Structure 1
């Protein structure tokens, strides 16, 4: 059992769209990621995905609307819902999702990172 300092963990990496695992509870992984630019359209057939904004602003585009998130806000994307995260400036996010969740769902892309390291 160790506490996790988010600021220290975010200083450990600089790349974008490559989540790092910082904890696990009840089959859920707690991940940190830095986002910048546009991600790809994807969905997670069987898993919900939670985005919590630590720093910056994130847009999540859906086929019928756009959700804008600021620091200290979170949003849960329901399973099966196609979405595309967009970060105009660098954003620091915490993600909560089941350990079985594939990074880009069934989509394969150069941004896909299914082998995520623990930090």
Structure 2
């Protein structure tokens, strides 16, 4: 039998903000969940697109040109490879992410917020 994945249960198990956890794999993509609150780091993924789907709350994604996208529950946004961006959650929100298995959490930047793939799989 192929088990179902409860997104709600996976989110409920998270204790840290900005620390995504892998809940599934589809071909060469990881499906991750995360709780976000506050400002993340400015970063880009040079070789991979990144998908954010908002589950709960609101999420702003800022771009280096000064524009931003506001996500409400049920909406998603695909950040094209190479685009500098910064997610900002004024209040806690919950997201589902789809990223290539090689995608680094903070892209081209290494910070104390960076989580390795090993940490995301744990």
Q: TM-score range by the shorter chain?
A: over 0.9
Q: Pick from 92, 95, 101: which aligns with 2:94?
A: 92
Paired residues in the alignment total 119
* RMSD, matched Cα: 1.0
Which residue pairs with 1:117 in the alignment?
A: 120
* Contact 2:19 2:120 (8 Å CA) reproduced: no
Per the normalisation by structure 1, the TM-score is: 0.96
TM-score (norm 2): 0.94
SS in 1 for 2:121: coil
Counterpart in the other structure of 1:74: 76
Structure 2: gaps of 5 or more residues = none
**Distance in 1 separating the partners of 2:36 and 2:93:** 5
Partner of residue 103 from structure 1, selected from 102, 105, 111? 105
Deviation at 1:116, TM superposition (A): 2.9
1:63 Cα deviation after fit: 1.2
Q: Show the 5 A alignment for 1:1-119.
A: 1-64=2-65, 65-114=67-116, 115-118=118-121
Higher helix fraction (1 or 2): 2
Gaps of 5+ in 1: none
